[in-house]
Amino acid sequence: MSVEVRIPTILRTYTGGEKAVTGEGANLSALIDDLEANHPGIKERLVEPKDAGPDLRRFVNVYVNDEDVRFLGGLDAELSDGDQVVVLPAVAGG
Amino acid sequence: MLRIDRATYDAIVAHAKRDHPDEACGIVAGPEGSDRPERMVEMVNAAGSPTFYEFDSTELLALYKQMWANDEEPVVVYHSHTATEAYPSRTDIGLAQEPGAHYVLVSTREHGNNDGPVEFRSYKIVDGEVTEEEVDVVEALPPEERVTP
């Protein structure tokens, strides 16, 4: 069971410059833990502690098969073999 | 330095004026590694606000997928300030996540939706460090240098 994860430019310092890596996990939370094991430091850039527990950072977008995971349960979003995960930083400011 | 052609420069200014008093935003894509802003894409400001901008998350994905398919990257990320100078705000600096891009700021505070000059400035924003750079507006970008191996 593996999924491909597209890594944005700003996080490629954690993946040795790789644009895409593979990871494993039954849901997004487990996938991020798996990524962290192979690319230490990346989790902190994706997830932050909140009152109700860890959650995705507000200005990081994660998509599973082109769907924003915020509509799929966030970190609980389920994953299947062959899914495509894309991480994109928000483009935002004031 | 940001080198940009007159038509793209004018289109960014026109977008900023049209959306005033809300902030306008978008990108200019170019071939990966070329530093050539060639294809402007106006984005909807999902925040619809005079003090904040954010690309809609679904449109953001569509935009990046199109750039990947074309071997492009965001060469310019632009947005407007509608009441303050064309300098990155603290929020802009904190949220800048494209270290390779030229961040263009346009201020419409002087003339709003009307004709008249605007401030048009460009910056690199890397790890919270802001460096202003010269903007060279040319009639047309020079032909791309093709490196033959």
Number of domains in chain B: 1
CA distance B75 to chain A (A): 13
pLDDT in tens, A36-86: 999 999 999 999 999 889 999 999 999 999 999 999 999 999 999 999 999
Cα–Cα distances (Å) from A7 to A62, B23, B93, in that order, read: 10, 28, 21
B41 CB burial (10 A radius; 0-12, 13-18, 19+): middle
Within 8 A of B91 by CB-CB distance, chain A residues are 92-94
Is residue B127 a part of any domain in this protein?
A: yes
Q: Does B102 touch chain A (CB under 8 A)?
A: no
| pTM to 2 decimal places | 0.93
Instruction: Report yes or no on B74 lying in a domain.
Output: yes
Is B47 a member of any domain? yes
- CATH fold of A3-89: Ubiquitin-like (UB roll) (3.10.20)
Q: What is the per-residue pLDDT for B146?
A: 65
Name the band, by pLDDT with cuts 50, 70 and 90, for residue B148: low
Residue B120 lies in a domain: yes
Domain span including residue B103: 2-138
Instruction: Domain ranges for chain A, please list them.
Output: 3-89
Q: Is the Cβ–Cβ distance between B113 and B8 less than 8 Å?
A: no
Pairs from A32-37 (Cβ < 8 Å, separation ≥ 24)? A32/A75, A35/A5
Q: For the segment B2-51, what is each residue's pLDDT rounded down to a tens digit?
A: 999 999 999 999 999 999 999 999 999 999 999 999 999 999 999 999 99
